[in-house]
């Protein structure tokens, strides 16, 4: 059991650790179909792809820039599984673009499904134009109009049962900052944007609390986000401390992945959302 002083030290260390959003991992029913949709409709690039027949799966990484500096998606295809349940807890990913109207028209022309036509955000005073589209597996992508940005893949939205608990958890365990908190009583939800830099310049975790809703289904489609850290062992120590206070669970003790030498640790947040911490230096080596 850690002493109070060493607990304090490791929690302070988290605030100075070098964190970054690396990728979001989720399952798709047809890898080629999703690659085609993301490259043609969203303008993503296929960054790497590998097939692991011994374990009966393949994966593909796509994004708007190299993994060394960008948040990307990691798609997993499990042999023979063509359909997944997305559940009620997963919200959406988001893509920032300079012209939502044009992007929506392009997506529609290529057969994409538009679930919310472009227009200003409802409720509140924001004039930001957004739209929602659905990918071939049913994952929702929010399209957000903003000026040129270094990180077009800009949100992962997850629903949570207690917003303040989640904010405290991601601040303390992951070193995120609360970038924005907004209550929207007309539509009965509150959201919090959590991240490591300004909302317009980086990927954020958008947490949504719907009034009175504390439980969601997780389904089996969305898997996790991966974050970079300089030290998975210290990160795991901090997570363990925060879990005692706020809930959650370590699902993989810190250490190298067998056969790959990349050091990781993983855990569930208080709502059961999975996060993987990946050693920053190992991750860069893996990309070479």
CB 284 within 8 A of CB 22: no
Question: Does residue 157 interact with Co ion by CB under 5 A?
Answer: yes
Question: Does residue 156 interact with Co ion by CB under 5 A?
Answer: no
* Burial category of 16 from C-beta neighbours within 10 Å (exposed 0-12, middle 13-18, buried 19 and up): exposed
Question: Does residue 155 interact with Co ion by CB under 5 A?
Answer: yes
Question: Does residue 142 interact with Co ion by CB under 5 A?
Answer: yes
Size of the site for Co ion (CB under 5 A): 5
Q: What is the CB-side half-sphere exposure of residue 32 using CA atoms within 13 A?
A: 1
Question: Does residue 206 interact with Co ion by CB under 5 A?
Answer: yes
Q: Would you call 177 helix, strand, or coil by DSSP?
A: strand
CB 155 within 8 A of CB 94: yes
What CA–CA distance (Å, rounded) separates 234 from 254?
9
Question: Does residue 203 interact with Co ion by CB under 5 A?
Answer: no
CB of 96 to Co ion, least distance (A): 11
CB of 142 to Co ion, least distance (A): 4
Identity of the residue, 206 or 231, whose beta carbon is nearer to Co ion in the bound complex: 206
Secondary-structure percent of the chain, ordered helix, strand, coil, rounded to 5: 25, 40, 35
What CA–CA distance (Å, rounded) separates 29 from 79?
9
Site string for Co ion, 213-242 (x = CB under 5 A): ------------------------------
Listed ranges 11-19, 24-32, 95-103, 206-214: which one lies at the site for Co ion (CB under 5 A): 206-214
What CA–CA distance (Å, rounded) separates 11 from 265?
17
Site string for Co ion, 34-73 (x = CB under 5 A): ----------------------------------------
Question: What's the Cα-to-Cα distance from 69 to each of 8, 20, 21, 150, rounded to whole Å?
Answer: 31, 9, 9, 9
Question: Does residue 131 interact with Co ion by CB under 5 A?
Answer: no
Listed ranges 20-28, 137-145, 181-189, 241-249: which one lies at the site for Co ion (CB under 5 A): 137-145
What CA–CA distance (Å, rounded) separates 84 from 90?
13
Q: Which residues are catalytic?
A: 92, 142, 155, 206
Listed ranges 72-80, 90-98, 263-271, 272-280: which one lies at the site for Co ion (CB under 5 A): 90-98
Identity of the residue, 17 or 142, whose beta carbon is nearer to Co ion in the bound complex: 142
Please give the residue ranges that form the binding site for Co ion (CB under 5 A): 94, 142, 155, 157, 206
């Amino acid at each position: 059991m850690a002493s109070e002083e060493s607990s304090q030290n490791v929690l302070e260390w988290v605030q100075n650790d070098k964190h970054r959003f690396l990728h979001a991992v989720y399952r798709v029913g047809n890898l080629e179909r999703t690659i085609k949709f993301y490259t043609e409709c969203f303008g993503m690039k296929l960054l790497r792809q590998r097939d692991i027949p011994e374990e009966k799966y393949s994966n593909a990484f796509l994004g708007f820039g190299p993994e060394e500096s960008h948040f990307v998606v990691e798609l997993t295809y499990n042999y023979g599984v063509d359909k997944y349940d997305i559940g009620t807890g997963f919200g959406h990913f988001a893509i920032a673009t300079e012209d939502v109207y044009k992007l929506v028209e392009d997506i529609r022309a290529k057969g994409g499904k538009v679930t919310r036509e472009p227009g200003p955000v409802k409720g509140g005073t924001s004039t930001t134009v957004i739209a929602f589209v659905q990918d071939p597996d049913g994952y929702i992508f929010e399209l957000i109009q903003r000026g040129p940005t270094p990180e077009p893949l800009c949100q992962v939205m997850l629903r949570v049962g207690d917003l303040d608990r989640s904010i405290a958890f991601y601040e303390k365990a992951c070193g995120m900052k609360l970038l924005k908190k907004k209550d929207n009583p007309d539509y009965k939800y509150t959201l919090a944007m959590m991240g490591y830099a300004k909302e317009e310049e980086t990927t954020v975790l958008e947490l949504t609390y719907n009034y009175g809703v504390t439980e969601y289904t997780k389904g089996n489609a969305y898997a996790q986000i991966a974050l970079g850290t300089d030290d998975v062992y210290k990160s795991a120590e901090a997570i363990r401390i925060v879990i005692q206070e706020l809930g959650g669970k370590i699902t993989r003790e810190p250490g190298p992945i067998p056969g790959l030498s990349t050091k990781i640790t993983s855990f569930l947040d208080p709502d059961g959302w999975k996060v993987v911490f990946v050693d920053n230096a190992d991750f860069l080596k893996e990309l070479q």
